[in-house]
Structure 1
C-alpha cells in the first residue's frame, strides 16, 4: 500500500499546479469549448454541451454507476422480504393522516403539480439554461418522496407502480446506450450525435434530448426505488416476524 501510494504521489510531481494557466486544459481544451461549442452543437449552454456531447461517454458511465448503485442497495435490502401492505393497513393509514394532517395534505396536493411541472421544465430546458436530466430526475423524485411522506407508503404505492419504476430504471440506461449504438450503426463514433440527422446541429439537439431524458428516467426511478424500500423497512423492523410478499 505504501509503495503504491508513493508511486501515485511521484506520478503527480510532473503535473501542473492546480489553477495553473499552463495546464493543458487551459491551453486548448477550454478555449475550444468556449469558442466553438455554440457552432458545433447549437446550444447556448456550454455546460450541457460539454456534459452531454463532448464528454457524453463519461456521463454515460455516471448513469451506469447510479443504476448499479441503486441495484446494489436493493440487493442489500433483500427485496424478496418486503413487508406486506394490505388494504386494511392502507385505509387506516389514510384516515389517520387525513385527520391529523389535513392542512399539510391539502398544501401538498397544491404544490405537487408545480413541482412536477418545474421538473419537466428543467428536463427539457437544460439545453438553453441551467438544468438537465440529473437535476430534473432529482426534482421529480423529490415530488414523489414528498407525497409519500405526507400520505404514507401504502397510498403512494397505489399511485406509483413499482414494476413501472423498476423498468424505468433500466430504460434510462438502455436509452442512453441505445443512442450510442444507433450513432455507430449510422457510421459515426459512439455517441456522435452528428449522424442522427442530415444537419449535424439538428443531430446534436436530438441526441442530447434523448440521452438527457434517459438520465432523468434513471435518476428519478433509482431515488424513488431506494426511498420506497428504505421507508418500507420501517414496519418490517418493528415487526420482524411479518412475512414479505
Structure 2
C-alpha cells in the first residue's frame, strides 16, 4: 500500500502494470529497436516499469496502420449512431476501471490518488460521452446561391491525426484529443509524454475492448525528440494535435 503525503491522505493499491508495449493496429508489440525506457514514480524516484521506446520506424508502422484503417477500414464508414454506441461503451469501461487507471496516473505523474479517482478519470468518461453524443450531429449547411444552382457544405473526417499528450494531465488531455477525433470518424496515432505513458496504453486496451476497430487508435510511447518529432513531421499525418488540449 502507498500513502500520499497530502493532508487528504488516501491509501491505494499499486496495480500490476499490464501494458508496457506499443499499441499498433490492435496489438501490443515491442518497438522495432527492442529498446525500452524507465517510467519513474516522481514521489520516490523508484522505477515503476520499463516501457517500449518507439522511434521513427515505430511511428511509420503506426501511421501506416492508421492510414489503412482510415482509407479502407470501417470506422469512418460506420453509421454515426454506431460510433456513438461504441464510444459510450468505451466511457463505461473507463468508469469500471477508474481505480486502476487513477492509481496508474497517481504513480506516473505524482498526483493525488483521490483527485485523479474522483475528478480526472471520471472526466475522461464525461468527455467520451459528450463527443459520443456529437457523433450523429455533424451536419453540413445548405447555401443560398446567387444563381439557380445548389450549394452545400459537407463535413467529413480529415483523416489520420497525430496527438501529442503532455505529462501533467495525461488522462484529461488524452480524452480531449481522442474523443472528438473518434466522433468525427478519424483514425489516430497518440504519443504520450515519456514521463506518463501508462494510462494512454490502458485506454488503448479499453478502446479495443469497447469495439473500436484495429488501427483506429495507435499509441507509440517514446521521447519527444525521436517519436514525437517523427509523428509531428510525418507526411502521411493529415492533422497534428500538438502538446496541450
Per the normalisation by structure 2, the TM-score is 0.28
Per the normalisation by structure 1, the TM-score is 0.28
Greater helix share, 1 or 2?
1
Structure number with greater Rg is 1
